[in-house]
Amino acid sequence: FRIRNFSYAQPIKDPIRYFTPKSIYDLDKLPKNYEDFVNKLGSNYPGYNDPAYMSWLYKVRNAPSKIGEVNKVEYNDDHILTWSTVYSKLRHLHDDLACDKYKENFRELEELGILSEREIPNFATLNKYLTHKSGFQLVNVGGMIKPRFFLYGLAFKVFFTTQYIRHKSVPFYASEPDIIHEILGHVPMLADRKFAELFQEIGEKSLGAPDHVIDVLGRAYFFIIEFGILSDKVLGAGILSSSKEIEIISSGKAKIEDWSLQKIINSDLILSDYQPQYIDVVKIENLKEIFAEVYNYLKI
C-alpha cells in the first residue's frame, strides 16, 4: 500500500469554500450572502428611519436570482425620482469626464431606449442587450458578495449585480453598490467586447485559486475597474456612478497615483468612503499589459 503525503491537505472547515464551479449553472450553488450590509446596519444607515424603504430593501435584497432568471422589481415614485435625479446629474458630468468607450455605449443604450432618465431599466432588457454585445449577463444578488464568488461569476460572463436603489436622502454617493452603480457605472463598459474578455480572463484566473491570489486579483479589480482613471477621463465604475466622487476628482484635489502593483498590494481597500487615491492607468490599451503583470507576479 502507498503512504500518502498529506502535507498539502487542507482541513475542510467550510466545504463550499473549496467548491469550484465547472459550468455556469454551478454558480447557483455558491453562497450569495451579503455580510457587509448586515454589518453596516445601524441608525446612520441611509433610510434606516424610513420603514417603507427598509421593508422594500429587505425584500429586494433577499431575492437573489438563479442563472437565466430575472427578478421583476417594483420601483415606486421615490425610487424612480432618485434614479432620475442621479441620472441627469451624472449624464451631464460624464459628457466631459467619462472615457470614450463608456460614452459610446451609453449613447447606444439611450438610442435603443434601454436607458433613460424616466425609468429604471429591467434586467431582462439589459441582459438581452449585453448578451448580444459581449455575452455578459447580470444576475442579481442582495449586496456585496465574497470577492472569490464575484470573480467566479466573471469566468462565466456572469456579473453579480445588486438590484435595490440607494435611499433618496443620499442620491450622489453610496457606500455600497446599488442599481445606480451597476447600471450607470458598469453596464456601458460590460457591453464592450474587449473589456468583457478581460473580465472573463480575470474570472478564469480566480477559479480554485488560493486566497492570496484572490486577494491580489480583487485588489486589481478594485483599484482599476472600480476606481481607475485614464489621465483626464474616468474609467472606474465606482467613480462613474457617484457625482460626489467625480466632483472630487475634477476639483483637482484628488491624489492621483501612477500604476504600481506594489502600491495596490499595500494600499488599504476603502469600501465605504471616498477614495484617498486613484490609480491612473493612462489609457485603456494598457490594461492588457497591467493584468499580464498581475498574473505573472502571481504565477497564474
Among 19, 45, 48, 173, interactor with ligand TIH by CB under 6 A: 173
Which residues 245-274 are close enough to bind Fe ion by CB under 5 A? none
Torsion of CA 284, 105, 198, 244, to 10 degrees: 70
Instruction: Kindly tell me which of 125 and 175 has the beta carbon lying closer to ligand TIH.
Output: 175
Catalytic residue, candidates 65, 134, 206, 241: 241
Q: In the sheet that 278-280 helps form, which strands lie side by side, from edge to edge?
A: 233-234, 228-230, 278-280, 256-258
119 as an active site residue: the answer is no
Distance CA 72, CA 9 (A): 44
User: Could you say whether residue 94 binds ligand TIH (CB under 6 A)?
Assistant: no
241 as an active site residue: the answer is yes
User: Could you say whether residue 242 binds ligand TIH (CB under 6 A)?
Assistant: yes
Q: Is 282 left (phi over 0), alpha (psi -120 to 50) or beta?
A: left
User: Could you say whether residue 298 binds ligand TIH (CB under 6 A)?
Assistant: no
Instruction: Kindly tell me which of 192 and 226 has the beta carbon lying closer to ligand TIH.
Output: 226
Q: Are strands 278-280 and 256-258 parallel, antiparallel or unpaired?
A: parallel
186 as an active site residue: the answer is yes
Catalytic residue, candidates 186, 206, 243, 245: 186
Instruction: Kindly tell me which of 48 and 172 has the beta carbon lying closer to Fe ion.
Output: 172
Instruction: Kindly tell me which of 21 and 177 has the beta carbon lying closer to Fe ion.
Output: 177
AA letter at 160: F
Q: Binding segment for ligand TIH among 64-72, 123-131, 192-200, 236-244 (CB under 6 A)?
A: 236-244
Distance CA 96, CA 89 (A): 12
User: Could you say whether residue 105 binds ligand TIH (CB under 6 A)?
Assistant: no
Q: Buried b / exposed e across 136-160, counting CB within 10 Å, b at 16+?
A: bbbbbbbbbbbbbbbbbbbbbbbbb
AA letter at 292: A
108 as an active site residue: the answer is no
Q: CA separation (Å) from 70 to 6, 122, 142, 146, 234?
A: 44, 9, 13, 21, 30
User: Could you say whether residue 238 binds ligand TIH (CB under 6 A)?
Assistant: yes
User: Could you say whether residue 229 binds ligand TIH (CB under 6 A)?
Assistant: no
Place of cell 450569495: 32
Question: Which helix H or strand E contains 76, and what residues bound it?
Answer: none
- Hey, is 140 helix, strand or coil? strand
Cβ 152 to ligand TIH, closest distance in Å?
19
Distance CA 133, CA 181 (A): 20
Q: How many residues bind ligand TIH (CB under 6 A)?
A: 12
Q: Which does 257 bind (CB under 5 to 8 A by kind): Fe ion, ligand TIH, none?
A: none
Among 79, 157, 181, 205, interactor with ligand TIH by CB under 6 A: 181
Which residues sit at the interface with Fe ion, rule CB under 5 A? 177, 237
Catalytic site residues?
Answer: 181, 186, 226, 241
